[in-house]
């Protein structure tokens, strides 16, 4: 028998049930996507869209651009010009001078006094009435204190104040003091900030 005859005989001897089974398996792999099944991906797509919008989007070269909301300044006057308002602060605090000056989103000025690399005082002023402290720690002692017509919220522990916030007619203020201070020291510092 020739090879072609052997091949033909082998093909005709295949059981029909094997052919039917192979055909059914081929059609089982086809998936039917419904609108409801696509909805399960919508939260992930929404997150990606928001991330693109927040970070600045995609530039002309199809590259994702990231916008930094913080801009560092060498001089306080430059930061005040960028934010559009003045910040009155003391030249020194406990023998340290301010060194880091940052404007955030063009509406918040943050100045840090440091002893070496260690922050000893952070003064923040921002437009509006939002909390501008950036301090989300939990403190066991929270007090509302009245001083010179302002309601100051102080947070701390063991009779030391680590965070003080207050609001004026147009601005929010925050003082972060990593080593803490007492209320008399806070009042003295408050008098120098505007």
**In this predicted model, what pLDDT tens digit does every residue of 113-137 receive, in sequence order?**
999 999 999 999 999 999 999 999 9
Domain ranges of the chain: 3-55, 70-190
Residue 88 has pLDDT above 80, yes or no: yes
Could you identify the residue written with the tokens 């059609």? 27
DSSP helix/strand/coil, 67: coil
Higher pLDDT, 22 or 179: 179
Mean pLDDT of the chain: 82
Residue 79 has pLDDT above 70, yes or no: yes
Beta bridge partners of 167: 172
DSSP helix/strand/coil, 178: strand
Phi/psi for 9 (5° steps) reads: -65, -40
Q: What is the mean predicted confidence (pLDDT) over 152-157?
A: 97
The pTM score is 0.66
Q: What share of the chain is helix, strand, coil (3-state, %, to 5)?
A: 30, 35, 35
Phi/psi for 147 (5° steps) reads: -150, 120
| Helix intervals (H) in the chain | 3-12, 16-28, 35-39, 42-55, 76-83, 183-190
């Amino acid at each position: 028998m020739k090879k072609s005859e052997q091949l033909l005989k082998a093909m005709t001897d295949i059981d029909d049930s094997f052919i039917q089974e192979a055909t059914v398996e081929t059609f089982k792999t086809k998936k039917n996507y419904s609108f409801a099944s696509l909805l399960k991906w919508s939260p992930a797509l929404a997150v990606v869209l928001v991330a693109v919008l927040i970070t600045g989007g995609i530039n002309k070269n199809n590259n994702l651009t990231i916008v930094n909301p913080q801009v560092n300044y060498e001089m306080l006057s430059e930061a005040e010009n960028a934010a559009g308002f003045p910040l009155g602060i003391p030249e020194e605090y406990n023998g340290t001078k301010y060194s880091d000056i940052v404007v955030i989103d063009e509406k918040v000025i943050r100045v840090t006094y440091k002893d070496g690399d260690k922050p000893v005082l952070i003064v923040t002023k921002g437009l509006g009435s939002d909390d501008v402290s950036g301090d989300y720690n939990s403190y066991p002692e929270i007090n509302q204190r009245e001083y010179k017509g302002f309601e100051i919220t102080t947070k701390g522990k063991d009779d030391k104040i680590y965070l003080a916030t207050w609001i004026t007619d147009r601005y929010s203020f925050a003082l972060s003091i990593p080593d803490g201070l007492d209320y008399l020291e806070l009042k003295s510092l408050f008098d120098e900030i505007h």
